[in-house]
Amino acid sequence: MSDRPLVSVGGLVVRHESAGLFTRRATKTAVAGVTFDIARGETLALVGESGCGKTTTARALLRLIDAAEGTMVYDGTDLRALRGETLRRQRKHMQIVFQDPFTSLNPRHTVGAIVGEGLLVHGIAKGDAAKARVATLLEEVGLSASDENRYPHELSGGQRQRVAIARALAVDPEFLVLDEAVSALDVTTQAQVLALILRLRDARGLTCLFIAHNLAVVQQVADRVAVMYQGRIVEMAPSRALFDLPAHPYTRAMLDAVPVSDPRDRKERTLLVGDPGVTGVQTGCAFYSRCSHPAKDAACTTQQPPLVSLATGHLAACIKTNINLEPT
Protein backbone atom coordinates (compact mmCIF):
# COMPACT_ATOMS: atom_id res chain seq x y z
CA MET A 1 0.00 0.00 0.00
CA SER A 2 1.35 3.37 -0.96
CA ASP A 3 1.28 6.55 1.08
CA ARG A 4 -0.38 8.34 -1.76
CA PRO A 5 -3.79 9.66 -0.70
CA LEU A 6 -6.74 8.22 -2.56
CA VAL A 7 -8.24 11.68 -3.05
CA SER A 8 -6.26 14.88 -3.32
CA VAL A 9 -7.86 18.28 -3.76
CA GLY A 10 -5.77 21.41 -4.17
CA GLY A 11 -6.86 25.03 -4.38
CA LEU A 12 -10.38 24.12 -5.50
CA VAL A 13 -12.50 27.07 -6.56
CA VAL A 14 -16.14 26.73 -7.62
CA ARG A 15 -18.26 29.63 -8.78
CA HIS A 16 -21.99 29.75 -9.24
CA GLU A 17 -23.37 32.00 -11.90
CA SER A 18 -26.84 33.36 -11.49
CA ALA A 19 -28.36 34.63 -14.66
CA GLY A 20 -31.43 36.39 -13.32
CA LEU A 21 -34.24 37.39 -15.59
CA PHE A 22 -34.37 40.93 -14.28
CA THR A 23 -31.04 41.27 -12.55
CA ARG A 24 -27.52 41.46 -13.85
CA ARG A 25 -25.61 38.26 -14.20
CA ALA A 26 -23.75 37.70 -10.94
CA THR A 27 -21.04 35.28 -9.92
CA LYS A 28 -20.82 33.94 -6.42
CA THR A 29 -17.76 32.10 -5.24
CA ALA A 30 -19.11 29.09 -3.36
CA VAL A 31 -15.75 27.41 -2.81
CA ALA A 32 -12.79 29.76 -2.53
CA GLY A 33 -9.65 27.68 -2.57
CA VAL A 34 -10.04 24.41 -0.69
CA THR A 35 -7.20 21.95 -0.19
CA PHE A 36 -7.40 18.53 1.45
CA ASP A 37 -6.35 14.91 1.04
CA ILE A 38 -8.21 11.78 2.01
CA ALA A 39 -6.13 8.71 2.74
CA ARG A 40 -7.24 5.27 1.64
CA GLY A 41 -9.76 3.89 4.14
CA GLU A 42 -10.08 7.21 5.90
CA THR A 43 -13.30 9.13 6.63
CA LEU A 44 -12.99 12.87 6.32
CA ALA A 45 -15.94 14.91 7.52
CA LEU A 46 -16.75 18.26 6.00
CA VAL A 47 -18.78 20.34 8.43
CA GLY A 48 -20.18 23.81 8.43
CA GLU A 49 -23.45 25.69 8.25
CA SER A 50 -25.66 26.12 5.22
CA GLY A 51 -24.01 27.91 2.32
CA CYS A 52 -20.47 27.27 3.53
CA GLY A 53 -19.64 25.30 0.39
CA LYS A 54 -19.39 21.77 1.76
CA THR A 55 -21.86 20.21 -0.66
CA THR A 56 -20.48 22.23 -3.58
CA THR A 57 -17.00 20.93 -2.79
CA ALA A 58 -18.22 17.32 -2.88
CA ARG A 59 -20.18 17.79 -6.08
CA ALA A 60 -17.22 19.37 -7.82
CA LEU A 61 -15.05 16.47 -6.68
CA LEU A 62 -17.51 13.98 -8.20
CA ARG A 63 -17.60 16.07 -11.39
CA LEU A 64 -21.33 16.70 -10.95
CA ILE A 65 -20.60 20.42 -11.30
CA ASP A 66 -17.61 22.17 -12.84
CA ALA A 67 -14.68 23.49 -10.87
CA ALA A 68 -13.31 26.88 -11.92
CA GLU A 69 -9.78 26.41 -10.61
CA GLY A 70 -7.66 23.90 -8.74
CA THR A 71 -6.63 20.29 -8.94
CA MET A 72 -8.55 17.14 -8.13
CA VAL A 73 -6.64 13.89 -8.27
CA TYR A 74 -8.08 10.46 -7.60
CA ASP A 75 -5.56 7.66 -7.16
CA GLY A 76 -3.20 9.30 -9.67
CA THR A 77 -5.97 10.21 -12.13
CA ASP A 78 -6.54 13.89 -12.89
CA LEU A 79 -10.30 14.13 -12.42
CA ARG A 80 -10.59 17.51 -14.11
CA ALA A 81 -9.11 16.15 -17.33
CA LEU A 82 -11.66 13.34 -17.70
CA ARG A 83 -14.22 13.55 -20.48
CA GLY A 84 -17.00 11.35 -21.84
CA GLU A 85 -16.24 7.66 -21.63
CA THR A 86 -13.25 8.00 -19.29
CA LEU A 87 -15.32 10.09 -16.89
CA ARG A 88 -18.14 7.58 -17.05
CA ARG A 89 -15.77 4.77 -16.17
CA GLN A 90 -14.33 6.78 -13.30
CA ARG A 91 -17.79 7.13 -11.75
CA LYS A 92 -17.77 3.45 -10.91
CA HIS A 93 -15.15 4.21 -8.26
CA MET A 94 -16.86 7.24 -6.73
CA GLN A 95 -20.44 7.12 -5.53
CA ILE A 96 -22.71 9.37 -3.54
CA VAL A 97 -25.67 9.10 -1.16
CA PHE A 98 -27.78 12.23 -1.06
CA GLN A 99 -29.63 13.78 1.86
CA ASP A 100 -33.20 13.45 0.78
CA PRO A 101 -34.29 9.91 -0.09
CA PHE A 102 -37.63 11.32 -1.22
CA THR A 103 -36.14 13.16 -4.19
CA SER A 104 -33.04 11.13 -4.99
CA LEU A 105 -34.85 7.95 -6.06
CA ASN A 106 -36.78 7.77 -9.31
CA PRO A 107 -40.41 7.32 -8.23
CA ARG A 108 -41.28 5.34 -11.38
CA HIS A 109 -38.57 2.74 -10.96
CA THR A 110 -38.75 -0.28 -8.70
CA VAL A 111 -36.17 -0.73 -5.99
CA GLY A 112 -34.64 -3.52 -8.06
CA ALA A 113 -34.26 -1.26 -11.10
CA ILE A 114 -32.76 1.55 -9.01
CA VAL A 115 -30.18 -0.65 -7.33
CA GLY A 116 -29.44 -2.66 -10.48
CA GLU A 117 -29.02 0.22 -12.91
CA GLY A 118 -25.35 0.77 -12.12
CA LEU A 119 -24.63 -2.91 -12.74
CA LEU A 120 -26.03 -2.66 -16.26
CA VAL A 121 -24.51 0.74 -17.05
CA HIS A 122 -21.03 -0.35 -16.04
CA GLY A 123 -21.41 -3.82 -17.56
CA ILE A 124 -20.81 -5.52 -14.23
CA ALA A 125 -23.69 -7.97 -14.43
CA LYS A 126 -26.93 -8.53 -16.27
CA GLY A 127 -29.94 -10.83 -16.26
CA ASP A 128 -30.08 -13.37 -13.46
CA ALA A 129 -26.60 -12.46 -12.23
CA ALA A 130 -27.69 -8.84 -11.79
CA LYS A 131 -30.89 -9.95 -10.05
CA ALA A 132 -28.93 -12.12 -7.64
CA ARG A 133 -26.52 -9.31 -6.95
CA VAL A 134 -29.35 -6.87 -6.23
CA ALA A 135 -30.84 -9.38 -3.80
CA THR A 136 -27.53 -9.67 -1.94
CA LEU A 137 -27.17 -5.89 -1.81
CA LEU A 138 -30.67 -5.39 -0.44
CA GLU A 139 -29.95 -7.88 2.30
CA GLU A 140 -26.63 -6.23 3.01
CA VAL A 141 -28.40 -2.92 3.75
CA GLY A 142 -31.03 -4.54 5.94
CA LEU A 143 -33.86 -4.87 3.41
CA SER A 144 -35.10 -8.14 2.00
CA ALA A 145 -34.68 -9.52 -1.50
CA SER A 146 -38.44 -9.37 -2.02
CA ASP A 147 -38.32 -5.58 -1.68
CA GLU A 148 -36.97 -5.37 -5.24
CA ASN A 149 -40.49 -5.16 -6.64
CA ARG A 150 -41.55 -2.26 -4.47
CA TYR A 151 -41.59 1.41 -5.43
CA PRO A 152 -39.96 4.21 -3.40
CA HIS A 153 -43.33 5.62 -2.27
CA GLU A 154 -44.09 2.33 -0.53
CA LEU A 155 -41.01 2.70 1.67
CA SER A 156 -40.30 4.71 4.81
CA GLY A 157 -37.58 7.37 4.85
CA GLY A 158 -35.12 5.01 6.50
CA GLN A 159 -35.84 2.23 4.01
CA ARG A 160 -35.40 4.62 1.10
CA GLN A 161 -32.05 5.73 2.42
CA ARG A 162 -31.07 2.07 2.64
CA VAL A 163 -32.00 1.73 -1.04
CA ALA A 164 -29.86 4.78 -1.85
CA ILE A 165 -26.94 3.17 -0.01
CA ALA A 166 -27.46 -0.12 -1.86
CA ARG A 167 -27.51 1.76 -5.18
CA ALA A 168 -24.25 3.52 -4.33
CA LEU A 169 -22.56 0.28 -3.30
CA ALA A 170 -23.84 -1.77 -6.25
CA VAL A 171 -20.88 -0.87 -8.47
CA ASP A 172 -18.45 -1.68 -5.67
CA PRO A 173 -16.90 1.79 -5.30
CA GLU A 174 -13.82 2.55 -3.24
CA PHE A 175 -14.87 6.09 -2.46
CA LEU A 176 -18.24 7.13 -1.09
CA VAL A 177 -19.58 10.63 -0.54
CA LEU A 178 -22.31 10.81 2.09
CA ASP A 179 -23.96 14.20 1.72
CA GLU A 180 -26.09 14.71 4.86
CA ALA A 181 -27.07 11.08 4.37
CA VAL A 182 -28.74 10.74 7.78
CA SER A 183 -29.84 14.34 8.38
CA ALA A 184 -33.42 13.98 7.17
CA LEU A 185 -34.12 10.87 9.23
CA ASP A 186 -35.85 10.56 12.59
CA VAL A 187 -33.51 10.05 15.47
CA THR A 188 -34.09 6.31 16.00
CA THR A 189 -33.89 5.66 12.25
CA GLN A 190 -30.86 7.92 12.02
CA ALA A 191 -29.03 5.84 14.60
CA GLN A 192 -29.83 2.63 12.69
CA VAL A 193 -28.77 3.98 9.29
CA LEU A 194 -25.62 5.47 10.78
CA ALA A 195 -24.74 2.11 12.30
CA LEU A 196 -25.33 0.49 8.90
CA ILE A 197 -23.04 3.02 7.18
CA LEU A 198 -20.27 2.40 9.70
CA ARG A 199 -20.60 -1.36 9.37
CA LEU A 200 -20.50 -1.28 5.57
CA ARG A 201 -17.63 1.18 5.55
CA ASP A 202 -15.53 -1.03 7.77
CA ALA A 203 -16.48 -4.28 6.04
CA ARG A 204 -15.69 -2.88 2.59
CA GLY A 205 -12.78 -0.68 3.60
CA LEU A 206 -14.46 2.36 2.04
CA THR A 207 -12.89 5.78 1.89
CA CYS A 208 -15.52 8.37 2.77
CA LEU A 209 -16.24 12.04 2.52
CA PHE A 210 -18.93 12.58 5.13
CA ILE A 211 -20.79 15.85 4.86
CA ALA A 212 -22.93 16.88 7.81
CA HIS A 213 -23.96 19.79 9.91
CA ASN A 214 -24.68 17.71 13.02
CA LEU A 215 -21.43 17.69 14.97
CA ALA A 216 -22.51 14.90 17.31
CA VAL A 217 -23.07 12.65 14.30
CA VAL A 218 -19.74 13.66 12.78
CA GLN A 219 -17.96 12.76 15.99
CA GLN A 220 -19.18 9.18 15.70
CA VAL A 221 -18.03 8.76 12.13
CA ALA A 222 -15.01 10.84 11.22
CA ASP A 223 -11.31 10.11 11.48
CA ARG A 224 -10.57 13.69 10.54
CA VAL A 225 -12.74 16.80 10.33
CA ALA A 226 -12.54 19.89 8.13
CA VAL A 227 -14.62 22.90 9.18
CA MET A 228 -15.72 25.19 6.37
CA TYR A 229 -16.83 28.78 6.61
CA GLN A 230 -17.84 30.82 3.57
CA GLY A 231 -16.09 28.67 1.02
CA ARG A 232 -12.87 28.08 2.91
CA ILE A 233 -11.56 25.49 5.33
CA VAL A 234 -10.94 27.35 8.57
CA GLU A 235 -9.82 24.36 10.61
CA MET A 236 -8.84 20.78 9.91
CA ALA A 237 -7.73 18.25 12.48
CA PRO A 238 -7.99 14.63 13.59
CA SER A 239 -11.46 14.18 15.03
CA ARG A 240 -10.34 13.85 18.65
CA ALA A 241 -8.21 17.01 18.47
CA LEU A 242 -10.93 19.03 16.81
CA PHE A 243 -13.54 18.24 19.43
CA ASP A 244 -11.18 18.45 22.42
CA LEU A 245 -8.97 21.33 21.35
CA PRO A 246 -10.82 23.42 18.77
CA ALA A 247 -8.48 26.21 17.68
CA HIS A 248 -10.54 28.43 15.41
CA PRO A 249 -13.07 30.77 17.08
CA TYR A 250 -15.72 29.59 14.63
CA THR A 251 -15.20 25.93 15.48
CA ARG A 252 -15.40 26.76 19.17
CA ALA A 253 -18.56 28.81 18.71
CA MET A 254 -20.20 26.09 16.66
CA LEU A 255 -19.40 23.46 19.29
CA ASP A 256 -20.71 25.76 22.03
CA ALA A 257 -23.98 26.25 20.15
CA VAL A 258 -24.80 22.52 20.15
CA PRO A 259 -27.64 21.94 22.65
CA VAL A 260 -26.67 19.99 25.75
CA SER A 261 -27.65 16.33 25.88
CA ASP A 262 -28.48 16.46 29.60
CA PRO A 263 -30.66 19.16 31.20
CA ARG A 264 -28.28 19.20 34.19
CA ASP A 265 -25.52 20.55 31.92
CA ARG A 266 -27.36 23.75 31.01
CA LYS A 267 -25.21 26.82 31.34
CA GLU A 268 -25.03 30.43 30.25
CA ARG A 269 -23.00 30.69 27.12
CA THR A 270 -21.86 33.33 24.74
CA LEU A 271 -23.59 33.03 21.44
CA LEU A 272 -22.40 34.05 18.03
CA VAL A 273 -24.13 37.04 16.59
CA GLY A 274 -25.21 37.22 12.97
CA ASP A 275 -25.78 34.59 10.34
CA PRO A 276 -23.29 32.28 8.67
CA GLY A 277 -24.12 33.95 5.36
CA VAL A 278 -23.14 37.45 6.43
CA THR A 279 -19.76 38.67 5.30
CA GLY A 280 -18.49 41.50 7.43
CA VAL A 281 -15.44 42.38 5.41
CA GLN A 282 -14.33 42.24 1.81
CA THR A 283 -10.74 41.43 2.59
CA GLY A 284 -9.37 39.48 5.49
CA CYS A 285 -11.11 36.96 7.67
CA ALA A 286 -14.72 36.23 6.60
CA PHE A 287 -15.61 35.39 10.18
CA TYR A 288 -14.42 38.77 11.50
CA SER A 289 -17.82 40.39 12.07
CA ARG A 290 -19.10 37.45 14.13
CA CYS A 291 -15.87 36.62 15.88
CA SER A 292 -15.68 37.00 19.65
CA HIS A 293 -11.95 36.42 19.99
CA PRO A 294 -10.69 38.90 22.63
CA ALA A 295 -7.63 39.78 20.55
CA LYS A 296 -9.36 40.45 17.24
CA ASP A 297 -8.26 43.70 15.64
CA ALA A 298 -7.66 45.50 12.37
CA ALA A 299 -4.96 43.03 11.39
CA CYS A 300 -7.70 40.41 10.90
CA THR A 301 -9.28 42.51 8.16
CA THR A 302 -6.22 43.21 6.06
CA GLN A 303 -5.37 39.75 4.79
CA GLN A 304 -6.92 36.35 4.35
CA PRO A 305 -5.69 34.34 7.33
CA PRO A 306 -3.62 31.42 6.02
CA LEU A 307 -4.33 27.85 7.11
CA VAL A 308 -1.30 27.13 9.27
CA SER A 309 -0.18 24.06 11.12
CA LEU A 310 -0.55 24.17 14.91
CA ALA A 311 0.30 20.57 15.65
CA THR A 312 0.67 17.40 13.64
CA GLY A 313 -2.27 17.32 11.27
CA HIS A 314 -4.01 20.22 13.02
CA LEU A 315 -4.46 23.29 10.84
CA ALA A 316 -6.35 26.49 11.57
CA ALA A 317 -6.83 29.75 9.70
CA CYS A 318 -6.81 32.37 12.45
CA ILE A 319 -3.97 34.80 13.04
CA LYS A 320 -5.01 35.24 16.68
CA THR A 321 -4.98 31.60 17.63
CA ASN A 322 -2.52 31.11 20.41
CA ILE A 323 -4.01 27.97 21.80
CA ASN A 324 -1.54 25.49 23.20
CA LEU A 325 -2.10 22.29 21.30
CA GLU A 326 0.62 20.26 22.92
CA PRO A 327 -0.93 17.38 24.81
CA THR A 328 -1.03 17.95 28.54
Query: Residue 260 gets which letter from DSSP?
Result: P
Q: How far is the CB of 229 from other proteins (least distance, A)?
A: 11
Q: How far is the CB of 48 from other proteins (least distance, A)?
A: 9
Helices and strands of the chain, counted as H and E runs: 10, 12
Nearer CB in complex with other proteins: 48/118: 48
Cα dihedral sign for 99, 104, 105, 107?
positive
- Structural contact between residues 234 and 54, judged by C-beta atoms closer than 8 angstroms: no
Cα dihedral sign for 146, 148, 152, 157?
positive
Could you say whether residue 216 binds other proteins (CB under 8 A)? yes
* Stretch of 10-18, 140-148, 237-245, 301-309 contacting other proteins, by CB under 8 A: 237-245
The SS3 assignment for 150 reads coil
Cross-strand pairs, 40: none
Distance, in Å, from the CA atom of 250 to the CA atom of 307, rounded to the nearest integer, reads: 14
Q: How far is the CB of 255 from other proteins (least distance, A)?
A: 7
Among 121, 278, 281, 295, which residue interacts with other proteins (rule: CB under 8 A)?
A: 278
Nearer CB in complex with other proteins: 216/299: 216
Among 87, 121, 129, 260, which residue interacts with other proteins (rule: CB under 8 A)?
A: 260
Could you say whether residue 255 binds other proteins (CB under 8 A)? yes
Query: Residue 179 gets which letter from DSSP?
Result: E
CA angle at 225 for the pair 142 and 317, rounded to the nearest 5°: 160
- 63, 78, 172, 177, 272 from 73: Cα distances, Å: 12, 5, 20, 15, 37
Among 220, 289, 301, 304, which residue interacts with other proteins (rule: CB under 8 A)?
A: 220
Contacting other proteins within 21-50 (CB under 8 A): 49-50
| Contacting residues for 149 by C-beta, under 8 A, at least 6 apart | 110, 111, 112
Could you say whether residue 214 binds other proteins (CB under 8 A)? yes
Could you say whether residue 326 binds other proteins (CB under 8 A)? no
Among 66, 202, 244, 297, which residue interacts with other proteins (rule: CB under 8 A)?
A: 244
Q: How far is the CB of 300 from other proteins (least distance, A)?
A: 19
Distance, in Å, from the CA atom of 297 to the CA atom of 138, rounded to the nearest integer, reads: 56
Q: How far is the CB of 265 from other proteins (least distance, A)?
A: 8
Could you say whether residue 187 binds other proteins (CB under 8 A)? yes
Among 107, 263, 294, 327, which residue interacts with other proteins (rule: CB under 8 A)?
A: 263
